[in-house]
Structure 1
Amino acid sequence: MSMMDRLKIRHLRALVAVAEQGTLVRAADVLSITQPAVSKTLAELEGIVGRQLLERTSKGATLTAAGRVLLRHAGASLRALNEGLDSLATGQEGEAPTLLIGALPNVAATVLPPALLRFAETDPRVRISVRTGSNAQLIAALRQGVLDLLIGRLAEPADMQGLSFEQLYTESLVLVVRPQHPLAGCRNIDPELLRKHRLVLPDAGTRVREAADRFFVSSALGLPVQTIETIDIAFGRSYVLQSDAVWFVPLGAIENDLRQGTFVRLPIDTRITEGPVGLTRRVDRVPSDALDQLMEEIRQSASEWLNRAALP
């Protein structure tokens, strides 16, 4: 029996899930199976290809060189199959293009919507799928061929191999509170006062959290202890509106709320958190005409956002 005859979709799905989630436990949750079942499936896959695909450590699982090679094709194959099944399910058996876009939550809430609205007017046939998550998760999905384009922060140089980045703008994190907060309305705030309040921060290990940590270290505050970590904008918004917590959040995610007075921005200098936001693509893929057009709409939308983002 050949290698292809033995290979099953569940093998590829397990490899992609572990690569994306970083641990067998989280991969099992995503796949709705047990961790031993994930381990067994991956062991079967390694037996089929005759190579070690994963290195298991106390912190999780990382792909070997052979695993990364197989992953590039596994993600693209699963995506193509899903598109075919979707076309059959919706009765669209013609060649209707599909674009899969990854975006950080703050970008998905600001730059992306107007770009997609304009794009739909120019090419209504194209189906768009938008996926949000952390920068690391989206970079992994882009490498796997699951995404055509990522709109997010610039990744570490080691993670950019085989990828290109086009900067659209720079964005900083801001400190915001509800209008009833004791610090709301203060003209001058010593960063030391932040110690008295619980902080809502981006998830540990994300690019925006690294930016937040730079602020705390540079302010001689040390890393905060009383924290809630999330990149879920809806949760962060709801929690901070119901408490005296201070939210460290990308400006784009909270811009409309600041304009409407739902939140108050604290007058604390956070320019050290500024980081580049832009378009990340795989260099080994020539963009389609549809993707080229969408990227142009995103560039225009980013320029418009920059003009709005100069808050008083």
Structure 2
Amino acid sequence: MALLDPRIKLRHLACFLETDGRGGVQEAAEALGLTQPAVSKSLAELEAILGVALFDRSRRRLALTDHGALFLRHANASMSALRQGVESLVEAGGAARVVRLGALPTVAVDVVPQAVAGFLAGPLACRVHVESGPSPHLLGLLRGGAIDLVVGRLPSPEVMVGLTFEHLYSEPLVLAVRPDHPLLSATDLTLAMVQGYPALVPPREAIIRGTVETMLLAAGVPSLPREIETVSNSFGRAYTLLTDAVWFISRSVVANDLEKGDLAALPLDMTASHGAIGITTRAGSESAIHTDALIASVRAIVRKREAGP
């Protein structure tokens, strides 16, 4: 059996996976606690060892080449297996178990906090690590084994290779505004009217960005002149309350604010914005009993919420 090339080090794989998952060398360097030149050097060394280019550097955002996409599958599997091996030894030594959960903004203020609380009150309670961020970041962590599951909107089909999705419920977007926003008193309100105001929208890599763009195009709005991209719920809420901004956001994120009257939803038909919410895990991998318990808690919270008061 051929041995692995001894020149390939763990740092090569870590730099490769972080650069792909975060879309850039600088972002990968910040995540790894390294300098940008150090990450660039590791990537160059890895490409030299393999004899192929792993990234297409002709674009603003780094993209994998065909060779890079092929290598990614095996690099993710290798890192995941290594982590599982380390965790097995840690558990055998009596260290506390940890369940690692990725929470997209859609569920970070509603389903996930309740699910974690329910899990910690159960017999399999253990340490929980909650990671937040945009979908590409979390799915990259999931593939690499750095987290055990992701809760949120269904990713696009092209990024679901090697992953599996369990549908739990569907949810629309809303256009949230401050309670005295001018559009709330507008007659014959249409989606096109938001062009006259600042708009808080998800970044281009976010799952719901495509839904937002499709709705706007259908309303005859090719672009928004004053667009602010953000995945921060706290910033979105603060900016919406401070200004005349219109916030394109999943309903559950602002459900409490809408119920209390702190924010209002523009009275527009948002039927076309419904999206599937659920649990994404690695396909073909057997999860630990503690992870299964947290997943069961997520399901229980959704069932309770869907049943109503």
The TM-score bracket by the shorter chain reads 0.7 to 0.9
Letter of the 2:97 counterpart: P
The answer as to whether partners of 1:99 and 1:129 remain within 8 angstroms in 2 is yes
Correspondence for 1:229? 229
Query: Whole-Å Cα distance in 1 between the matches of residues 34 and 232 of structure 2?
Result: 25
Q: CA deviation at 1:69?
A: 0.7
SS state at 2:175 partner: strand
Q: CA deviation at 1:221?
A: 2.4
SS state at 2:221 partner: coil
Q: How does 1:301-312 map to 2 (within 5 A)?
A: 301-307=301-307
Correspondence for 1:122? 122
- 2:63 is equivalent to residue 61 of structure 1: yes
Letter of the 1:65 counterpart: L
Query: Whole-Å Cα distance in 1 between the matches of residues 47 and 190 of structure 2?
Result: 56
Query: Whole-Å Cα distance in 1 between the matches of residues 193 and 51 of structure 2?
Result: 55
Q: 249-258 or 64-73: which moved more?
A: 64-73
The answer as to whether partners of 1:191 and 1:268 remain within 8 angstroms in 2 is yes
The answer as to whether partners of 1:101 and 1:147 remain within 8 angstroms in 2 is yes
Q: How does 1:238-277 map to 2 (within 5 A)?
A: 238-277=238-277
- 2:25 is equivalent to residue 24 of structure 1: yes
Q: CA deviation at 1:75?
A: 4.8
Query: Whole-Å Cα distance in 1 between the matches of residues 274 and 5 of structure 2?
Result: 48
Query: Whole-Å Cα distance in 2 between the matches of residues 22 and 35 of structure 1?
Result: 13
SS state at 1:73 partner: helix
Correspondence for 1:73? 78
Letter of the 2:44 counterpart: A
CA separation of 1:291 and 1:34: change in aligned 2, threshold 3 A? closer
Q: CA deviation at 1:72?
A: 2.4
Q: Deviations over 1:111-167 (max 9, x none)?
A: 011111111121355211111111222112111111111112212222212211110
Q: Deviations over 1:41-83 (max 9, x none)?
A: 12223445x35361223231323312331232225535765x6
The answer as to whether partners of 2:106 and 2:153 remain within 8 angstroms in 1 is no
SS state at 1:108 partner: coil
Query: Whole-Å Cα distance in 2 between the matches of residues 215 and 307 of structure 1?
Result: 30
Query: Whole-Å Cα distance in 2 between the matches of residues 33 and 6 of structure 1?
Result: 20
Letter of the 1:157 counterpart: P
Aligned residues: 302
Q: How does 1:25-174 map to 2 (within 5 A)?
A: 25-48=26-49, 50-52=50-52, 54-59=54-59, 60-62=62-64, 63-77=68-82, 93-123=93-123, 125-174=125-174
% identity of equivalent residues: 33
Correspondence for 1:288? 288
RMSD: 2.6
With the length of structure 1 as denominator, give the TM-score of the two structures.
Answer: 0.87
Unaligned 5+ runs, structure 2 = none
SS state at 1:107 partner: coil
